[in-house]
Each structure stands twice: as structure tokens, then as C-alpha cells.
């Protein structure tokens, strides 16, 4: 049933007929993708979350090669603010060619898991691991403490955390990560054409809703319906923040694989930097339930975290290994998906969609409305 089929300006000869194509059920589903941006509380596990001085210092450190042991690159080298906090390379380049695509760093506040394999349950841990990863920034806690102490940032660091001489090297590492986290929490994509459409639907403003292009509406209908995209890409971030096998090969070579969530869980459960660990500032251990009560499965092998689709048009290439160069390729992947690549005992969700050219174009048009545009 069409909810609104009234032409916009029927009285005017030659007027273009615009309409809302969605059914009542589709409108109800559409409302679940907002409002945007969502309200996010300060991170209780990070005592400097939301503090202006920490955010400013975190932003400066994010863009400074000081955080790599030899000054070779900064966080921004792989997460370029001018490119949606990612880069155009399929796979990130640290000290070596890494296994995965650099994920965008926007809209990260308040998530349950971070990273393609979910090896962190909080944003400061996700910020910490690359600093000490030998293939990425390459610091040890001692070298980082020395670098911070001898830098122009020493006074500001101590303004936030107190005398750095009273902090052991690991504490300096964690505090540095919490500064980065405080900054990253502020990175939020702006409302888009989709949000304007959703808000118009929410307030019953038909005239405003009709301005959303028909092709994007048809794409949204596919997204909600036959495409089954909404199974994983749901909520205001267009992600359930859980882990799925999307049928992308996870062999890195003939002899090695990207373990995905399986490896992420191994890392997480041996990490000192979880919400259940001593480095969290939250005495109530809010959120620690998830790491304590995870269910493991061999089907976790090759599963990757559902990425948000907010700003997706700005963050090509796509998938965990960056193997799909543009949105058209992503749609083609799901349209022609090889189910032989899926876990035999995995979720029975994906099947070839067999989309025609118009349907594929409609889906791309919809996805592009999740970005603010140039």
C-alpha cells in the first residue's frame, strides 16, 4: 500500500509528479535509521572523554608523526581527514602492506566493538593498539613516554594527566590513547539528504519528503526488502555492529587467512585494555558484560564487523580487504554472490539478488544519500 500518492502540484499543468513511494511498513522501518546524530554519553571508561583540553591535544597528536617510533607517519597517514578518515588504498600501508582496509574513524563513539575483527571493546583500546603494533606505529611504551616527554605536547599532556614523571610508561601509553579517543569521539558525519527525508517522514511533512529522489526511494525499498541489507545495516549508524560472513574471500595467500572475528576474539580475550580490565576508568565496569559473556563459534572465522554506511560514498574502496573499488562493485558483489564462499554452517542470509541495472543504480543512489556530498 502506498502511504502517500498525492501529486505535489496537480493543479499546475506540466508539473513534475513527485511522491513518497514507501509503504507504511517501509516508512516505519525508515524511521528506525534515526534521528541523526544520536545522543551519545561520555565514555565512562575514559576519564578525559568530552574534555576540551583532551580533545584538542588528541587532535594534535592524531595528526603528528610523533606517535610513530621513527616519526615516519601519523594516525592521519592511514586515516586522512580529507578522505573521510580513510585512504583510497585497498589495504593500509604501515611498515608493511597490512591485511585490511583502513576503516573510516567517524561515528565511533559508543560502539560495542571496534575494528574489522572487533579486537577492542572500547575506543581508547582501539586507538592504543596501532601505536604499539610493530607493523604500524612501532612504539614501545617506553619510547612513547620519552617522545611525549620531550615534545612540545608535554605541558598540555601534564595539564590533563598530571606530572608525566609520576606515570609509568604503560600509563602514558593508555593516557595517550585516551586523548586520541576523546578526539575521535567528536568525529560525526553531518545529516544528509536521507536524514532530511527521514525527518520529513517523522513529522508528516509530505512536501518535504517528496523532495527525496525517486531513485533513492526505490533503492531504499530494495535495501529494506529484497536486498536484505537491513539485516546487518540497521539503526542510526546503518550497522548492527556485529560480525558476519559477507562472502568476501579471507585467504591472504595460499597458506594464510585473515581470521576475522575469530582472531579478533583471541586478541580481545587476552588484552589488558578491555572494559573488564584495570585500565578502564569506569568503576562500575559498564559494558564489560559483552566481553565477559561472548559466545564463541568456529563460524567466527572469516567474519568481519558490519561497517556503518554513514558517509559511505566518501570511503571507497570497500569490504575488509578493500577489494571492491566502488559502490557499484559492492552492489554487484551481493547481486552475484557466490554462496559457496560462505560458511556451510553460517547464517542463512545471503543469496544472489540478481539485480537489474536499474535496481543496482537505485541502490547506489540511495547509498549516496547517506553522505553529505561535496
Interface residues toward another protein, by CB under 8 A: 28-29, 32, 230-232, 234-235, 240-243, 289-290, 293-295, 345-349
Whichever of 213 and 235 has its CB closer to another protein, that residue is 235
Q: Smallest distance, Å, CB 293 to another protein?
A: 4
The strand ranges marked E within 144-255 are 243-244
| Residue 286 beta carbon to another protein: minimum distance, rounded to whole angstroms | 11
How buried is residue 151: exposed, middle or buried, by Cβ count under 10 Å (0-12/13-18/19+)? middle
Residue 28 or 256: the one with the smaller Cβ distance to another protein is 28
- Cα–Cα separations (whole angstroms), residue 296 to 111, 118, 263, 265, 290: 20, 13, 11, 8, 12
CB of 338 to another protein, least distance (A): 19
Q: 84 or 260, CB closer to another protein?
A: 260
- C-alpha R_g of the chain: 22
> CB 200 → another protein: shortest distance, Å?
21
CB-nearer residue toward another protein: 239 or 360: 239
Minimal distance, residue 348 CB to another protein, in Å: 5
Kindly state the cell numbers that stand for 241.
555492529
Q: What is the dihedral of CA 36, 85, 148, 97, to 10 degrees?
A: 140
Shortest distance in whole angstroms from residue 39 CB to another protein: 13
C-alpha–C-alpha distance, residues 58 and 51, integer Å: 10
Please, which residue, 340 or 345, has the CB nearer to another protein?
Answer: 345
Angle between helices 214-224 and 357-368 (to 10 degrees): 100
- Residue 215 CA to residue 311 CA, distance in Å, equals 18
Taking the C-alpha atoms of residue 79 and residue 371, their distance in angstroms, rounded to an integer, is 18
- Report d(CA 124, CA 273) in Å as an integer: 8
CA gap 9, 115 in Å, rounded: 49
CB 16 within 8 A of CB 8: yes
- Output the smallest distance, CB 356 to another protein, in A: 25
Q: Which helix (H) or strand (E) holds 357?
A: helix 357-368
Nearest to another protein of 96, 351 (CB atom): 351
Closest to another protein by CB, 288 vs 367, is 288
Q: What's the sign of the alpha-carbon dihedral 254, 258, 262, 268?
A: positive
* Least CB distance to another protein at residue 242 (A): 4
**In angstroms, what is the minimal distance from the CB of 294 to another protein?**
6
- List CB contacts of 99: < 8 A, sequence separation 6 or more: 91, 252, 258, 321
Query: Which 8-state DSSP code applies to residue 313?
Result: G
Looking at beta carbons only, is 30 or 74 nearer to another protein?
30
The distance of closest approach from Cβ of residue 297 to another protein in the complex, given in angstroms and rounded to an integer, is 8
Closer CB to another protein, 83 or 228, in the complex: 228
Closer residue to another protein (CB): 295 or 354 = 295
| DSSP per-residue codes, 55-108 | HHHHHHHHT-GGGSTTS---HHHHSBGGGTTB-SSSS-BSSSB-SSPPPP-SS-
Which residue in 229, 216, 188 sits closest to 311, CA to CA?
188
Amino acid at each position: 500500500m502506498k502511504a502517500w500518492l498525492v501529486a505535489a502540484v496537480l493543479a499546475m499543468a506540466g508539473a513534475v509528479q513527485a511522491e513518497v513511494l514507501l509503504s507504511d511498513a517501509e516508512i516505519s522501518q525508515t524511521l528506525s535509521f534515526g534521528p541523526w546524530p544520536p545522543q551519545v554519553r561520555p565514555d565512562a571508561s575514559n576519564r578525559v572523554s568530552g574534555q576540551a583540553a583532551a580533545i584538542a591535544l588528541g587532535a594534535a597528536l592524531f595528526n603528528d608523526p610523533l606517535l610513530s617510533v621513527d616519526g615516519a607517519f601519523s594516525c592521519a597517514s592511514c586515516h586522512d581527514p580529507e578522505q573521510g578518515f580513510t585512504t583510497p588504498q585497498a589495504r593500509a600501508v604501515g611498515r608493511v602492506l597490512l591485511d585490511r582496509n583502513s576503516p573510516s574513524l567517524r561515528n565511533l563513539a559508543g560502539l560495542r566493538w571496534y575494528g574489522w575483527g572487533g579486537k577492542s571493546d572500547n575506543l581508547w583500546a582501539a586507538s592504543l593498539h596501532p601505536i604499539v603494533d610493530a607493523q604500524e606505529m612501532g612504539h614501545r611504551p617506553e619510547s612513547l613516554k620519552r617522545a611525549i616527554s620531550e615534545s612540545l605536547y608535554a605541558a598540555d599532556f601534564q595539564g590533563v594527566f598530571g606530572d608525566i614523571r609520576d606515570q609509568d610508561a604503560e600509563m602514558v601509553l593508555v593516557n595517550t590513547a585516551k586523548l586520541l579517543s576523546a578526539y575521535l569521539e567528536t568525529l560525526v558525519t553531518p545529516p544528509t539528504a536521507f536524514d532530511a527525508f527521514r525527518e520529513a517522514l517523522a513529522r508528516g511533512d509530505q512536501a518535504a519528503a517528496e523532495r527525496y529522489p525517486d531513485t533513492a526511494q526505490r533503492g531504499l525499498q530494495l535495501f529494506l526488502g529484497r536486498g536484505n541489507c537491513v539485516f546487518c545495516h540497521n539503526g542510526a549508524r546503518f550497522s548492527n555492529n556485529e560480525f558476519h560472513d559477507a562472502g568476501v574471500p579471507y585467504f591472504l595467500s595460499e597458506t594464510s587467512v585473515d581470521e576475522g572475528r575469530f582472531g579478533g576474539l583471541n586478541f580481545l580475550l587476552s588484552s589488558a585494555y578491555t572494559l573488564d580490565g584495570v585500565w578502564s576508568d569506569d568503576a562500575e565496569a559498564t559494558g564489560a558484560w559483552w566481553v565477559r559473556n561472548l559466545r564463541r563459534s568456529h563460524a567466527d572465522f572469516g567474519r568481519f564487523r558490519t561497517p556503518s554506511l554513514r558517509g559511505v560514498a566518501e570511503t571507497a574502496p570497500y569490504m575488509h580487504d578493500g577489494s571492491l573499488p566502488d559502490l557499484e562493485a559492492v552492489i554487484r558483489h551481493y547481486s552475484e554472490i557466490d554462496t559457496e564462499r560462505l560458511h556451510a554452517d553460517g547464517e542463512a542470509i545471503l543469496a544472489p539478488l540478481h539485480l537489474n541495472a536499474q535496481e543496482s543504480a537505485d541502490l547506489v543512489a540511495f547509498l549516496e544519500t547517506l553522505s553529505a556530498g561535496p
